[in-house]
Amino acid sequence: MFLYPWQELEDQNSDRTLLNYFTLGRAIFNGLEQIVRWHFGEFSQIDRFLDFACGYGRLTRFLIQALSPEKIWVSDIYREAVEFQAAYFGVQGFHSASQPENYHLNQTFDCILAGSFFSHMPERTFTPWMQTLYELLTPGGILIFSVLGEEILPAHVSMPSTGILFSSDTSESQSLDKEDYGTTYVTEAFVRRVVEQVSQGQASVVKIPRGMCHYQDFYVISPSYLQGAQTLNFHHQPEGYLDSCTVDLTGTIHLRGWAVDFNPQGQIEQVEIWSQGQQMTQTHPTEPRPDLREHFGNPNLPLDAGWSCIISLKRLSPEAIVLIRIVNTAGLASIIAAMPIKTLMARQRILNELSRSQNNVQQTQAQLSATHEKLAYLQGHLDHAQQTLEQSRHKLLTTEQRLGATQAQLLATEAALAQTQNQVQAMASSKFWKLRTKWFKLRRAMGLSDNEPI
């Protein structure tokens, strides 16, 4: 969960990746905390908690602040991750298995969290793993798991009639078999069928749309009765981004970004700028950002989601860390930037270079597109010329064939003429022909025509 987002960043900045890692961990904990308080009242009511597919403690580092490590079990396919958490957080660790039939944990739990696990399972192991985890619950326990809903499927991809779509082409893991761990999208109907099957129709189910980091759907299931989702009053954390950080000639730092809140009737209460343990300034989103509505596919987002503020560089050293925190009206906060001033400015240079590179790429693509159009135009002319040439060749061949036939007829005629001339010469040289010639001369001498009778 660290390398994958790091590789996705345009500048592959490890500080930003760490911030993203911790921010997501905090967001998952905030969601978990709301569910725990809704069902149990307090964390103190939980005797045993299992973080299944726990990784290296993205959640645990926050969970141990609310629940004693002695009450926390963690389990993961990566043995090193389990050993790391046991050593650093003091929790109980249990190595997982690639197949559910090989997972044997002789313990039951009041609360089990399987965050971002079923969003990677193929259909053949989805139900068996759900069965395995459900059977680890105490009678009043809850299983919380997340899935990728069909609503976030790419537009060009259709959901099969089975209600589950697994792809081995995309995987966050660099070592697990992609046929065992890929990317999975499911419908709510599919999830409810699976839960009904593993619980023999006895489990209660509550869905929290996009409850995990405002992306994956949370489901809460229990062998006992669950209150309705409307009593949960679940709140999402705010989201935001630092778009730019520049310094002018007066030593003034200009910060600009955006912040949005996805909760019904919710809004961003403030944007806070912190450094060296002190709040330097605060502001509110007041600038139009219509692009965010399109980006999130949500026409109901507030139009004025952009914010900007200034702080004096004279008050800070280049090594000073600037932290930007956004808070919504539900009291939930997100840190959207936390890095030294010099890193912020270096990041801005990288972003500027990236922007220039993207512009160059766009210009090159436009030139390439124009070249392709010209090439297509010339190719059309070439195709037409080749077609005309082929037609001319065909006509020439036909003409040559006709000429050959005419020449053959001429030769035959000449041969026939020569034969006739030979026959005439032969007749003229015969005694009969000579006598006939003398006879006609005699008749003409007598004054008779050739045809007049004597």
Return mean pLDDT, the chain.
88
Q: Which of these ranges, 106-110, 190-194, 296-300, has the smallest mean pLDDT?
A: 296-300
Mean pLDDT of 305-319: 87
Decide if 307 contacts 256 (C-beta within 8 A).
Answer: yes
Per-residue pLDDT at 6 exceeds 50: no
**From CA 199, how far away is CA 214, in angstroms rounded?**
28
What pLDDT, on a 0 to 100 scale, did the predictor assign at position 452?
64
Element containing residue 429 per DSSP (H, E): none
Read off the pLDDT of each residue in 262-287 and give the average, rounded to a whole number: 94
pLDDT of residue 416: 83
What's the pLDDT tens digit per position in 130-177? Answer: 999 999 999 999 999 999 999 999 889 999 999 999 998 765 655 565
Question: Is the pLDDT score of 66 beyond 80?
Answer: yes
Q: Where are the domains of the chain?
A: 3-231, 239-348, 413-445
The tens digit of pLDDT for each residue in 404-444 reads 888 888 888 888 888 888 877 777 677 776 777 777 787 78
Residue 451 has a pLDDT of 66
Q: Give the highest mean pLDDT range of 139-148, 248-257, 385-394.
A: 139-148
> Considering only 171-180, 271-280, 310-319, 338-347, which range has the smallest mean pLDDT?
171-180
Q: Please provide the size of the chain in residues.
A: 454
Any idea what DSSP says for residue 203? -
Q: Which of 231, 207, 228, 226 is nearest to 217 (CA)?
A: 207
Q: Strand ranges (DSSP E) for 53-136?
A: 72-76, 92-95, 109-114
Mean pLDDT on 5-29 = 74
CATH number of 3-231: 3.40.50.150
Does domain 239-348 fall into CATH 2.60.40?
A: yes
- Please tell me the predicted confidence (pLDDT) of residue 173: 53
Which has more confidence, 439 or 307? 307
- Cα–Cα distance, 419 to 426 (Å, whole number): 10
pLDDT digits (tens, 9 = 90+) for 197-231: 999 999 999 999 999 999 999 999 999 999 877 78
pLDDT at res. 7 = 43
- CA-based nearest residue to 124, from 166, 154, 72, 71: 166
pLDDT of residue 1: 47
Distances (CA, A) of 120 to 76, 86, 116, 198, 335: 14, 25, 7, 19, 28
Amino acid 388: pLDDT: 86
Asked if 109 and 73 count as a contact pair (C-beta separation under 8 A), the reply is yes
Predicted pLDDT of residue 92:
98
Instruction: Band the pLDDT of 316: cuts 50, 70, 90.
Output: confident
Q: What integer is the mean pLDDT of 225-252?
A: 88
Over range 174-198, report the average pLDDT.
88
Distance CA 18, CA 93 (A): 24
DSSP string, 230-274: GGT---PPPEEEEEEEEE-TTSEEEEEEEEE--STT--EEEEEEE
**pLDDT tens per residue, range 77-113:** 999 999 999 999 999 999 999 899 999 999 999 999 9
